[in-house]
Amino acid sequence: MVRVCIVGAGVAGCTAASALHHALGSSGALELVVLEASARVGGRVKHAGAGLRCGGELGATWVHGKRGNPIYPIVHAATNGSTLQQQSWQMPVAIYHGRRVDPQFVAHVLEDVEAIIDRAVSKGAGIQGVRSVGEFLDAEWKAQGQRDDHEGEHESSETSHVLKDCIYQRRKRLECSISACDSLNDLRLDQYREYDRLDDNHSRNSAPMETFLHGMLAPLLPETVRLETRVTQVQRCGAESQDGAPLLVKAWDARAGASVSYLADFCIFTASLGVMKAEGERIFEPPLPPKKLQAIRRLGFGTVDKVLIEFEHESDPVKGELPQSAFLLGTPASAEEGHAPDTDKYAWLFDYAPLVYMDRPASGFLRGEMWLSGTTAREMEAKDDEHVFRAVQAYLHALAPLAYPKVRSIARSRWFSDPNFGGSYSYNAIESDGSDFETLAEPLPCLPPHDVNRPCILFAGEATHRSFYSTMHGAFASGEREAKRLLGLLARTADVAN
């Protein structure tokens, strides 16, 4: 009988548990427990729930890529392919001083910015003396502006320059929400290409993304997953080990109001990098090796939050045509006329000026989304619900002449302030490199008198995958990787015994 304790019931933990059960569950050779600190399964996969009629994901939303994406066939099979929909992107509408900016102008500027971002990905590793993505983009953007002025490619009015720079700044903020950094100056340029973008087939699941995780766990015994059980220590045991177990996992069971402990032969630790940053130095006994602690400190872990918006209109046509996405440039026209104190009261939102994405999911209820990152996301988390609700209303009103319906309700994430996560996902920071993701994934060996050549603590989660970090499929692949590692160790042990 092999005793396995998995810490965390997010994508990585659920994947590892499912793989181990599939391989060993029917043999009766597996004693498996999954310890989850929160009151639900899913980790950073989280549906808005019944409170929002239009539904929506507060956490992981996208299945990024079809070719080579290990999670695509799983989600596709779980929904029979009926709810996995490839997204088609439309050019966003920009509002400046209460008017729509010429869409051709917006498209031209965004094409220029995208070309610069592509150059950062493809050529960044070969550029000397430029450390951050932000530094590279700013230098390239300045050079682009000089070329445009020289060639007379765009109207050279002051307004034109202001508009171009506003669009550029908005696109940089969107890139921050993609990469989870506070600023693109935090993102290391020569490591920008480490992330494997796969292909351009980005899909959303109209059914809750949690569906496929629950499907994974369905074959397990109900008592396998222990919710509201926060791990307080993972101890590698030497001569003092109980019942021959190389590991003792201690936890606090909030439902029982008591401390609990589990003897284990293996532990797969899948907590977020945010938790590792906050608790990594104290949760392991003996402490983590200096090299792993350094990787934890060096890697970036940022905050990206969503605000989901439900409107009063249901299946009825919305008066006026709303674009798929829109964003605000500069100061709202009403503020210039002295009639918009909201721009000061809700400056945290107006200064960030997020893209508003519109969708009408299968529920038939119109839904909007805003993505916030960095300091703005953390500031939003500190506001009460009523303040955020009114801020969203004011921002949508400032996007006139677009006629957004009246807001009925909102739902929002708070990934940074949730102690079970401490943020959203990882990135390659200025002081880190791709090898830090691999260092974080390195297992820890048993202590003597146990076999010191045998790993007993394994690590999974999106921040342990060098090329798929920050993604749901990275978390999935890491959970699968560690389950295979554990099964391989068991197979080798059996071969030696025979």
Q: At what angle do helices 434-441 and 290-298 cross, to 10 degrees?
A: 130
Q: Do strands 30-35 and 2-7 pair parallel, antiparallel, or not at all (unpaired)?
A: parallel
Strand, coil or helix: what is 324? Answer: coil
CB 243 within 8 A of CB 78: no
Cβ neighbours around 70 below 10 Å, total:
14
The confidence score (pLDDT) of residue 315 equals 45
Domains recognised in the chain with CATH numbers? 2-41+209-300+426-497 (3.50.50.60), 85-203+304-412 (3.90.660.10)
Strand, coil or helix: what is 91? Answer: coil
Spans of the chain below 70 pLDDT: 79-84, 125-126, 150-156, 313-320, 331-341, 362-363, 494-498
User: What is the rounded distance in angstroms from the CA atom of residue 119 to the CA atom of residue 111?
Assistant: 12
The confidence score (pLDDT) of residue 153 equals 52
Tokens of 478: 């890491």
Tokens of 124: 């960044």
Sheet with 202-205, side-by-side order of all strands: 62-64, 202-205, 84-86
CA neighbor of 107 nearest in space, from 173, 176, 174, 163: 163
User: What is the rounded distance in angstroms from the CA atom of residue 435 to the CA atom of residue 241?
Assistant: 33
Q: At what angle do helices 133-151 and 103-123 cross, to 10 degrees?
A: 130
Question: In b/e form, how buried is each residue of 351-371, taking b as 16+ CB within 10 angstroms?
Answer: ebbbbbbbbebebebbbbbbb
Cis omega (within 30 of 0) on the bond before 401? yes
Question: In b/e form, how buried is each residue of 174-186, taking b as 16+ CB within 10 angstroms?
Answer: bbbbebbbbbbeb
The confidence score (pLDDT) of residue 50 equals 73
CB 311 within 8 A of CB 405: yes
The confidence score (pLDDT) of residue 498 equals 43
The secondary structure element, H or E, covering residue 86 is: strand 84-86
- Half-sphere exposure (CA, 13 Å, Cβ side) for 387? 12
Dihedral angle sign, alpha carbons of residues 414, 416, 420, 425: positive
CB contact set of 96 (below 8 Å; sequence gap of 6+): 163, 166, 328, 329, 330
CA neighbor of 465 nearest in space, from 480, 448, 453: 480
The predicted-structure confidence for 112-148, as pLDDT tens digits, reads as follows 999 999 999 887 766 778 899 999 999 999 998 877 7
The residue type of 223 is: E
